[in-house]
Amino acid sequence: MMKIKFLLLFLIIGAVFCHAQTNNEEKNTPEKRTYEELEKEFYSNRMGEGNSKSIADYYLKKAKSEKDAMHTAEGYVMRHFEENLSDALKDLDSLQHITQSSKENTYPARIYLLRGNLYFKNNNLQSALNNYILGLKYAKEKGNKRQIAMAHISIAYLNNYIGKHAETAKVLRHYAYDADYMNEDEKKTLKMNLADAYIEINKMDSAYILIQDGLQESRKNKDLYRYYENLGLLGYYNLHSKKYQKAIEGLLECEKYFFTNNISDIRSQNYTLLYLGKSYAGLQQKDKAVDFFRKIDSMVLKTNYIYPELRDVYTYLIDYYKENSDTEKQLYYVERFLKVDNVLYTQFRYISRELPRRYDTPELQQEKESITNELTKRKSLFYIVLSLLLISHLLFINVYFKYKKSEKNYKKIAQDLILSANERRFDRDYKSEPEKETFSETLPIENTGSSEDRTTRTISEDIAQNILKDLEIFENKDQFLSRGITLGSLAKKIKTNSKYLSEIINTHKGKNFATYLNDLRIDYAISRLANDRKFRSYKIPFIAEELGYNNEQAFTLAFKKRTGTPLSIYLKEIENMTGK
């Protein structure tokens, strides 16, 4: 999973700084400094030591007293970085209000991009993505290339967070090397995050070159913060390469820096401890690994900073205390895992497929109940284990026979579907590479009664018949295979309104629009899969896309609901019956 950090690149979206310097000691007090000097000090302090909040407060107060709208807006931006989520959102609301009439091409995109970063930082990925998309929309409207880049990079970081590392690497590589409007500091940050993505996709040589370049550059510029960021990344590289001792040596330096230099970087602190724990685990030094993992748990309790790798932390702790027969601590970390897992499931449902197999939620819940009963009732371990084994055995037998019975029923349904599809085989003429809206399959129109009896009085007979004719064309020309079809878009296509179309479908087809559309697609899939070997050879995601579904899961669920048998069994029975 991802360790991407926004760094300065996303702290100054849409802002331009003069970086003016002065040696005049009289300018050391806030009252003597220009806005540009205050801005420079603020963002420098955010990456190291210093009180950036007091600078932001003074900056905003100064701008308001001078009735300077532009700098007042910048003050809200600066201050929102130092506030909790609720107050930060209020600052951005104030920013939106004061810039609503702004002629600058940075607004309103800047507001949405900043909101997206704020939600990302607080683990609300859905809201982050929604704001990034809005930011991208307004940046394109204003033709702001830098903000378009920021939006693309932010969305790439979200993709990386849910495991799409190759896609992230592609975007970062483009903006790090091919975008001349990105400044050198931004490119350095992009390259550091690109190295992280390279490690995830096992491009280790490319990652190592970028890390070494980053270390050399930060030493040259005496940039301690960026140096230790790269050193931590080198630790992850060595951990990934199973050079555990080498990883530990560098990571211990990072731990000293991030925990003793007033660096309020929760992400770097967490991942430094995580890599140290995993490195010691790799050396089979379990006690040391557990020490670091317990520190991580303490930090999570304090900061509520939750990230996917915590699953590895808690499963390791659970296993450790299970091996040492410390049921109380085992139970504690099972409960911690379940709480963290619940947050991750809610916030990162798109990566639920990455859940550990050994410790999924139902298994841990059952283990928690078993341990709780053991501690409260103080029963003999022998009888508890014996009872659990007996219950598990009975449950296994029960589940097994239910499964076999269900499997038999599924196979029968699948065989009947195949036979029915074969009966219509010679009435169909599929193309080897079908295009959406042009398949030649003719599907029967479902009719549950005469139009005169079924159509409501609100629709004339002529209109009803015209709509039915258009639906017949929609079905016969396989236009239902197009993606993104809605009741509204279809109504517009056949030149009627959604209300009429919905009523006709309900009355004449006996179902609502969503069911009608799904049934057409699944009936088409049943026949085509049975009779088109080439189509059947495609991967399921491609088949789902060809049938108009957004993803594989939507297709397989719709297939099961329509047919009563899983898609996998249907395909297997086709192979068994056709020998292909």
pLDDT tens sequence across 267-289: 899 999 999 999 999 999 999 99
Neighbours of 95 (CB within 10 A): 24
Domain annotation covers residue 365: no
DSSP-assigned letter for residue 523? H
User: Any idea which residue has 């629709």 for tokens?
Assistant: 459
Q: Is the pLDDT of residue 187 over 50?
A: yes
- Distance between CA atoms of residues 12 and 580, nearest Å: 59
Domain annotation covers residue 367: no
Which is more confidently placed, 489 or 349?
A: 489
The answer to whether the beta carbons of residues 481 and 523 sit under 8 Å apart is: no
* pLDDT-based confidence at residue 431 (cuts at 50, 70, 90): very low
The structural domain count of the chain equals: 3
- Distance between CA atoms of residues 494 and 506, nearest Å: 17
Question: Token pair of 490, please?
Answer: 């279809």
pLDDT tens sequence across 307-342: 888 999 999 999 999 999 999 999 999 999 999 888
pLDDT (0 to 100) of residue 409: 87
119 and 72 share one domain: yes
222 and 167 share one domain: no
540 and 491 share one domain: yes
What would the mean pLDDT of 226-251 be, rounded to a whole number?
95
pLDDT (0 to 100) of residue 578: 77
pLDDT tens sequence across 49-79: 457 888 889 999 999 999 999 999 999 999 9
208 and 169 share one domain: no
Domain annotation covers residue 313: no
What would the mean pLDDT of 287-303 be, rounded to a whole number?
95
Q: Domain holding 268: CATH number?
A: 1.25.40.10
pLDDT (0 to 100) of residue 424: 64
171 and 286 share one domain: no
The answer to whether the beta carbons of residues 148 and 139 sit under 8 Å apart is: yes
Q: Is the pLDDT of residue 352 over 70?
A: no
- Kindly tell me the sign of the dihedral angle through the C-alpha atoms of 418, 419, 421, 425: positive
Which is more confidently placed, 29 or 462?
A: 462
What would the mean pLDDT of 124-133 be, rounded to a whole number?
81
- The string over 400-417, giving b where at least 16 C-beta atoms fall within 10 Å of a residue's C-beta and e elsewhere, is eeeeeeeeeebbebbbeb
- Distance between CA atoms of residues 278 and 315, nearest Å: 12
What would the mean pLDDT of 246-266 be, rounded to a whole number?
88
What would the mean pLDDT of 184-199 be, rounded to a whole number?
92
Q: Is the pLDDT of residue 18 over 70?
A: no
Q: What is the DSSP string of 260-278?
A: HS----HHHHHHHHHHHHH
The pTM of this model reads 0.55
Domain annotation covers residue 296: yes
Q: Which of 280, 307, 334 is the last residue of a domain?
A: 307
226 residue type, one letter: R
DSSP-assigned letter for residue 441? -
Neighbours of 457 (CB within 10 A): 5
213 and 172 share one domain: no
- Domain limits for position 270: 202-307
pLDDT (0 to 100) of residue 149: 92
31 and 161 share one domain: yes
Q: Which of 177, 193, 212 is the last residue of a domain?
A: 177
Domain annotation covers residue 422: no
Q: Which of 259, 285, 307 is the last residue of a domain?
A: 307
pLDDT tens sequence across 367-403: 556 666 767 777 666 677 777 777 877 777 766 777 6
First to last CA, the chain: 40
pLDDT (0 to 100) of residue 430: 45
- Distance between CA atoms of residues 255 and 385, nearest Å: 43
Q: Which pairs from 56-60 meet CB under 8 Å and 24+ separation?
A: 56/81, 56/82, 58/30, 59/35
The answer to whether the beta carbons of residues 258 and 239 sit under 8 Å apart is: no
- Distance between CA atoms of residues 118 and 122, nearest Å: 6
* pLDDT-based confidence at residue 218 (cuts at 50, 70, 90): very high
pLDDT (0 to 100) of residue 411: 85
212 and 102 share one domain: no
161 and 84 share one domain: yes
Q: Is the pLDDT of residue 360 over 80?
A: no
Cα-atom radius of gyration of the chain, to the nearest Å? 30
Three-state secondary structure call for residue 511: coil
9 and 158 share one domain: yes
Domain annotation covers residue 319: no
Q: Domain holding 449: CATH number?
A: 1.10.10.60
Look at 360-369, 457-466, 569-578 and tell me which has the smallest mean pLDDT.
360-369
What would the mean pLDDT of 226-232 be, rounded to a whole number?
94
Domain annotation covers residue 259: yes
pLDDT (0 to 100) of residue 239: 96
328 residue type, one letter: E
Q: Is the pLDDT of residue 17 over 70?
A: no
- Distance between CA atoms of residues 92 and 303, nearest Å: 23
* pLDDT-based confidence at residue 446 (cuts at 50, 70, 90): very low
77 residue type, one letter: V
22 and 104 share one domain: yes
147 and 15 share one domain: yes
Domain annotation covers residue 182: no
The answer to whether the beta carbons of residues 421 and 410 sit under 8 Å apart is: no
pLDDT tens sequence across 26-40: 445 556 788 888 888
User: Any idea which residue has 């483009």 for tokens?
Assistant: 174
